[in-house]
């Protein structure tokens, strides 16, 4: 199985049509399955288009694509989503699924079904988050943090090597405890814990909060 994630958490990178061409070529004539995490499908920026494995006939035959109503509708605590896969795989997935799902209550399912009838409820998500991203980036321009381009999600990576040579976990702990801004160190996402002096910031906040955080960070 090949596992992919686009838009990608934690980097904010997105896969291109060319990337899916390569994935098709790699898996063609094999028994390889593809698990495609597409939970941030509606949070994509700068006019880019979400490239889903479901767009490709060959990839659809071997892919399990996962999606999240929680991410799209800002209710991540509800843990509600869905997946799409070929019938031969869904038969097996349902056998396991019936023993794993026990917390999704009926009223929420009906509510989301009604909410989906109005496309503006999910089509407005990307512009809303892009505005937040752009606001945060503009506010951070005077800082010594260097942004790394984010094509989607609600996360922004920042390099802090111009500020400190501390390990990213140590620096993130210092930012949280002493400065009052919580971030995620990127090394924790790597199997080998490589440290590139990069932190992940979440900009899924109100502008007042983003402005306050940026003001603090610009003072470092």
Q: What is the pLDDT of residues 58-94, one digit of tens each?
A: 999 999 999 999 899 888 888 889 999 999 999 999 9
The structure tokens listed for 6 are 């686009």
- Span 108-136, pLDDT tens digits: 889 999 999 999 999 999 999 999 999 99
Assess whether 90 and 136 both reside in one domain: no
Beta-strand pair 34-37/2-5: parallel
Per-residue pLDDT, 19: 97
Three-state DSSP at 219 gives: coil
Assess whether 94 and 76 both reside in one domain: yes
Please tell me the total count of domains within the chain: 2
Assess whether 51 and 110 both reside in one domain: yes
pTM of the model: 0.90
Residues 77, 59: Cα–Cα separation, whole Å: 31
E strands in 22-168: 34-37, 63-68, 81-84, 146-148, 155-159
Residues 211, 142: Cα–Cα separation, whole Å: 12
Q: Is 125 buried (19+), middle (13-18) or exposed (0-12) by CB count in 10 A?
A: buried
CB 137 within 8 A of CB 176: no
Residues 154, 210: Cα–Cα separation, whole Å: 13
Beta-strand pair 198-202/184-185: antiparallel
The mean pLDDT values, 10 residues at a time, for the chain of 220 residues are 97 96 96 97 96 96 95 85 95 88 81 93 95 98 96 97 97 97 97 97 97 97
Beta-strand pair 34-37/63-68: parallel
**Domain C-terminal end among 91, 123, 155:** 123
Which CATH number do you get for residue 45?
Answer: 3.40.640.10
Residues 201, 2: Cα–Cα separation, whole Å: 28
**Domain C-terminal end among 123, 152, 185:** 123
The structure tokens listed for 192 are 């080998």
Residues 218, 220: Cα–Cα separation, whole Å: 6
Q: Which domain holds residue 156?
A: 125-218
Residue located via tokens 């795989």: 89
Residues 167, 44: Cα–Cα separation, whole Å: 31
The radius of gyration of the chain's CA atoms, rounded to the nearest angstrom, is 19
Residues 68, 104: Cα–Cα separation, whole Å: 13
Who's near 25: CB < 8 A, 6+ residues apart?
none
**Domain C-terminal end among 123, 153, 170:** 123
């Amino acid at each position: 199985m090949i596992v992919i994630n686009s838009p990608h958490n934690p980097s904010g990178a997105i896969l291109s049509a060319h990337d899916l061409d390569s994935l098709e070529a790699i898996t063609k004539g094999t028994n390889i399955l593809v698990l495609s995490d597409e939970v941030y499908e509606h949070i994509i920026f700068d006019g880019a288009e979400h490239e889903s494995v479901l767009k490709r006939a060959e990839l659809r035959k071997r892919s399990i694509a996962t999606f999240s109503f929680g991410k799209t509708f800002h209710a991540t605590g509800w843990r509600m989503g869905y997946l799409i896969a070929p019938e031969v795989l869904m038969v097996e997935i349902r056998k396991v699924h019936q023993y794993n799902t026990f917390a999704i209550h009926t009223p929420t399912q009906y509510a989301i079904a009604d909410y989906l009838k109005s496309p503006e409820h999910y089509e407005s998500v990307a512009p809303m988050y892009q505005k937040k991203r752009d606001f945060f980036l503009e506010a951070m321009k005077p800082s010594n943090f260097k942004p790394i381009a984010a094509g989607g999600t609600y996360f922004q990576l920042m390099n802090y090597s111009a500020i400190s040579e501390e390990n990213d976990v140590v620096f993130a702990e210092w930012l949280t405890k002493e400065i009052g801004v919580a971030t995620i160190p990127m090394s924790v996402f790597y199997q080998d814990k490589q440290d590139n002096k990069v932190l992940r910031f979440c900009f899924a906040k109100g502008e007042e909060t983003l402005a306050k955080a940026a003001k603090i960070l610009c003072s470092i």
